Structure 1
Amino acid sequence: MNQRNSFGYRALALSVLLGFSACSRNPVTGKRELSLMSTEQEIAVGKESHPSVVASMGLYDDKKLNDFINQKGKAMAQISHRPNLPYQFYIVDSPVVNAFAVPGGYVYFTRGIMAHFNNEAEFAGVLGHEIGHITARHSARQQTGQLLGTLGMIGGAILVPQLGQNLDALQQGLQVFMLKYSRDHESESDKIGVEYSSKIGYDAHQMANFFSTIKRISDNAGQQVPDFLSTHPDPANRNTKVNQMATAYQQQNKGNYQVERDRYLRMIDGILYGEDPRQGFVENDMFYHPELRFQFPVPKGWQHQNSPSQFQMAPKDGKSAMILMLAKGNNLDEAAKTLAQELSLNVLESQRTTINGNPAYVLISRQQAQQQQGQQQDPRTALQIGTWLIQYNNAIYALHGLAAANDFEGAYRSFRPVAENFRALTDSEKINRKPERVQVKAVPRDGTFKDAMSALGMPANRLEELGVLNSLRPNDRVARGSLIKIIER
């Protein structure tokens, strides 16, 4: 969470313009199909959405990496099915392992995924996959538009998947950012990724290998979703299919396909890893923000996710959530009024108070959902929000607790201690905390990956995490002098 970024509750609706429809030929499939979005509209969507992506996630400042993705991106764009789009490529400042594309040619990689690639060919495969979403016009082929919200839950990286099941109103009310594609579209983009990455000279088998990394991350996070319930195909199945497609392509198109492991590893040497403590971090059930100098507790067992624009957390049952962000307004009264207007809130209760010496305002509200004519909102499932507006260090922070109305009373007992323990951060060790970074080292001697990590001083309890980062298992053999990634401050 970073005060310098644009905050607020503004969300940009990326809706498909339905003023006219026409049949056109899909540039990838060659089939004629109903077009709900013109090329000009796709480009406009990209331009309009980009500032919100930057405000929500921030950009990662690394010239050599940004030059690299732009060089490869432009080379791939030229051999794509739509070379005339104004492609732009960015690395966003997020530890989440992900990449995503926006219509009109905007492609984003998180620094988290850049840290987890182990060669240029893995990157090129994912780059081709994302450009494939654009060239195949997958967004235009969706039945509805996509919402670019302020929650920062990109693609499949959802903090608590159950929120969508238990609180539909929460997703609607918070304009959750979900750039999702159907499983068929994902599979189609995998095929395009094999083709595009191969055409610029990379071995697409490495793209398949990266799906193994994705599966390990998913399995370790306990986020397995049955294939028939998921918007993305199972990573293990994708590994197999992409390997088959890569083999078939190379048999039909003989060539010298590159991997470029060492060159890539040297390029990411020093990349930021995990959460940037300057933007806030959680330790021992407490959220600390060194730059903004505040702290507050995180309820035990709650999952959490941080971004430059906000901090969010929720229990594993998915029945409630809390979100911290900056409020609009020069004073508490103005902030409360703006909040109610922009989120269409019906304020049920309001009270002035102080929280650890800071002027504050407490609101209990219910969101007024948009209903179809003749339908009544069920008050039991309506979204209810407890908001603490806290004036601190020349800013006003909004700490929201959200739950369905019939769950709100119980959830409020968890929300209140969090808000009432918002206080100044004075611990110098927390204020001066340094970020972790990926460091690239030479393996000191022949042996197993586990032996190499031990020799390089890595703790045993991070062996699996380091294994995911390197795409290696504990007993995999590594050769003396080969490059390997470790994590250091």
Structure 2
Amino acid sequence: MTKHTSIALATAVLLMFNSCATNPVTGKKDLVLMSEEQEIALGKQSDPAVLAQFGLYDNQQLQKFIQTKGEAMAAVSHRSNLNYQFRIVDSPVVNAFALPGGYIYFTRGILAHFNNEAQFAGVLGHEIGHVAARHSVQQQTKATLAQVGLIAGMIISPEFAQFGDAASQGLGLLFLKFGRDDERESDRLGVEYSSKIGYDAEEMADFFLTLNRLQSQNGQSIPDFMSTHPNPADRYETVNQLAFDWKKKLNLTVADINRNSYLKLIDGLVYGEDPRQGFVENNSFYHPELKFKFPIPANWQHQNSPIQFQMAPKDGKAIMNLTLAPGETLEAAAQQTLKQYSLQVVDSKSTTVNGLPALAVIADQQQQAQQQQTQVIRTLTYFIKYGGNIYSIMGISTANDFNNYLQSFTNTMENFSVLTEPDKLNRQPERIKVETVSQAATLSQIFQRNNIKEDRMQELAILNGMELSDRVEKGTMIKLFSK
């Protein structure tokens, strides 16, 4: 059993002990499922799983920025006693989310879509609001965090269909879902907290419009704070009114927006998928840094993270994982894996895979089904030694289904090979490039002058929070794409 599964079980035990506590925001008594100490401990235990799933974004200046701004805002929140941790994770998904106890995460994808510090601050205040009002503790009854372990760790389970759901939802399983009242309360708190440290909270409302356009443009899911619970148009009006009221209450005659300083901060930010961490093209997975490749079965879904690459058919009856295996030798790596997952060897053979030394192992694990009937999980794992690492590619299904997927498993595993194609090895991520407009023109004309392809102009307009027809004055900073 993995550490993350243990966390989920511990959470289930905690849910058995209901208690009433005073809500720090409302002052009213709430039925909560854990003490503050337990809440903090749960966030601390779950944080490594989130970081393993996404990885921290490698930019110390940005990490320092979010921690500094977060601490300033947390100090004026209703739970300033918590030791908040603010992190930027390396994901292109546009989102921000919070774990119990004060762990708050922004993706680099959402940073790319802010156009000033005030927008950033409004969303930061919103997420702190979820923690301050203990929304995540209330949502813990849905066992959302237990799913972190399912996705972040290689868990052998008969419930393979859950991975299929995760692949179709992107990374949504990690984001706690809040109800209509929770979202409205966090909107209110986001306005309050960002206003109290001097920002113009009206910009938070403007960012809602950007996210609505983003969803309409490509149909991707939007963050929890922009979910369809409250009507987005109503929220825009409400946040604007709240911002006006707080400016008046605080006598905030000059509120900070800080557009140029923010744009300079994200100049060079990785945008979209980062191919250096591995990418999929023409039904194959390529890893330029580690210099390997392998095919993906046709019509299988896939998900990449810093610790593993997962593949699964849409029916959810099988799964394959590629990870690094511990151990100095193939035999040692196999033994540790067998022990970790309580697997019993059925067959084993030494072999080579495209000239690389390998060990192929078929092994079983007994699983207790919901009907209390024992079913057998069967695995095929190829341990492959290459480049100073040992790679484990494990295919998993029930014993009854194993032969149906064996060809797919072996085709992927036996076609693992050294990556030599220069165009794949040298693939670079796209980045945000901030430029100052030298001559007034419409946004569309500026894009044309900078050789932006027509099919990407609307995407870039949304990224800038502008319309293509907007006139942009000389000296204005805008975002462009660069390699």
Contact map agreement 1:212 1:236 (CA 8 A) in 2: no
Secondary structure, counterpart of 1:140 in structure 2: helix
CA distance in 2, matches of 1:30, 1:39: 16
Verify: 1:472 aligned to 2:466, yes or no: yes
Give aligned-pair identity as a percent.
48
1:61 CA drift (Å): 3.1
TM-score by length of 1: 0.81
Mapping for residues 151-170 of structure 1, pairs under 5 Å: 151-152=151-152, 167-168=161-162
> Tell me, what secondary structure is at the counterpart of 1:329?
coil
Alpha-carbon contact 2:15-2:141 (below 8 Å) kept? no
Q: Which amino acid aligns with 2:115?
A: N
Instruction: Provide the rounded CA distance (Å) in 1 between the counterparts of 2:125 and 2:16.
Output: 32
2:178 paired residue number? 182
Residue in structure 2 matched with residue 234 of structure 1 by the alignment: 228
> Is 1:103 the counterpart of 2:100 in the alignment?
yes
Tell whether the 8 Å contact from 2:84 to 2:103 is kept in structure 1 after alignment. yes
Q: Distance in 2 between matches of 1:368 and 1:187?
A: 47
Cα distance in 2, alignment partners of residues 9 and 275 from structure 1? 29
Q: Does 1:400 align with 2:389?
A: no
Q: 1:44 to 1:320 in 2, by over 3 A?
A: same
Q: Are the structure 2 counterparts of residues 378 and 279 from structure 1 closer, same or farther at C-alpha, using a change threshold of 3 Å? A: same
Partner of 2:425: 431
1:115, CA displacement in angstroms? 1.6
Q: Which residue of 2 aligns with 1:265?
A: 263
Q: Distance in 2 between matches of 1:268 and 1:169?
A: 33
Structure 1, residues 156-190: CA drift from partner, whole Å, max 9, x if none?
xxxxxxxx998148789xx9963423324344323
Q: Please state if 1:462 is matched with 2:459.
A: no
Q: Does 1:127 pair with 2:124?
A: yes
How do 1:58-457 and structure 2 match up within 5 A? 58-141=55-138, 142-143=140-141, 145=143, 146-147=145-146, 148-149=148-149, 151-152=151-152, 167-168=161-162, 178-184=174-180, 185-223=182-220, 233-234=227-228, 237-238=231-232, 240-251=234-245, 253-254=247-248, 255-256=252-253, 257-299=255-297, 303-314=301-312, 321-345=319-343, 350-364=348-362, 368-371=366-369, 375-377=371-373, 385-402=379-396, 409-457=403-451
Instruction: Rate the CA distance shift 1:362–1:89 in 2: closer, same or farther, 3 A.
Output: same
Deviations 1:185-241 (A, max 9, x none): 34432332222223223233332333344344445554469x9xx997328933531
| Number of equivalent positions | 463
Q: Secondary structure at the match of 2:231?
A: helix
- Mapped partners of 2:64, 2:54: distance in 1: 20
Deviation at 1:344, TM superposition (A): 4.7
Q: Normalization by structure 2: what TM-score?
A: 0.82
User: What is the alpha-carbon root mean square deviation over aligned residues?
Assistant: 3.6
- Asked whether the equivalents of residues 323 and 393 of structure 2 are also in contact (C-alpha less than 8 Å), the reply is yes
Q: Distance in 1 between matches of 2:229 and 2:209?
A: 7
Distance 1:292 1:79 in 2: 45
Corresponding residue of 2:28: 31
For 2:4, give the aligned amino acid: A
SS in 1 for 2:200: coil
The CA distance in 2 between the partners of 1:93 and 1:106, in whole Å, is: 16
Q: Single out whichever of 86-95 and 184-193 deviates more from structure 2.
A: 184-193
Question: Is contact 2:184-2:230 (8 Å) kept?
Answer: no
**By how many angstroms is 1:27 displaced?**
0.7
- Structure (1/2) with the larger helix percentage: 2
C-alpha separation in 1, matches of 2:297 and 2:462: 28
Shift of 1:423: 0.4
Per-residue deviation at 1:32?
0.8
One of 11, 15, 18 as aligned partner of 2:4: 11
User: 1:218-266 deviations in whole A, cap 9, x for unaligned?
Assistant: 45554469x9xx9973289335314323314413641344332222111
For residues 440 and 295 of structure 1, the distance between their equivalents in structure 2, rounded to whole angstroms, comes to 34
In the TM superposition, residue 385 of structure 1 has moved relative to its aligned partner by 4.8
Aligned-pair CA distance for 1:425: 1.5
- Give 5+ residue unaligned stretches, structure 2: none
Alpha-carbon separation, structure 1, partners of 2:349 and 2:412: 17
Per the TM alignment, residue 302 of structure 1 is displaced from its structure 2 partner at its CA by: 5.2
User: What do residues 324-361 of structure 1 show as CA deviations (whole Å, max 9, x unaligned)?
Assistant: 21123333334334334434556666554321122334
Compared CA separation, residues 455 and 232, structure 1 to 2 (3 A): closer
**In 2, Cα distance between the equivalents of 1:212 and 1:377?**
52
Q: 1:465 to 1:422 in 2, by over 3 A?
A: farther
Aligned equivalents of 2:204, 2:347: Cα separation in 1: 54
> Structure 1 residues 348, 169: closer, same or farther in 2, change over 3 A?
farther
- Distance (Å, rounded) in 2 between the aligned partners of 1:217 and 1:367: 45
Distance 1:323 1:213 in 2: 36
Q: How far has the Cα of 1:94 moved from its partner?
A: 2.4
- Does the C-alpha gap of structure 1 residues 400 and 233 become closer, same or farther in structure 2, counting only changes over 3 Å? same
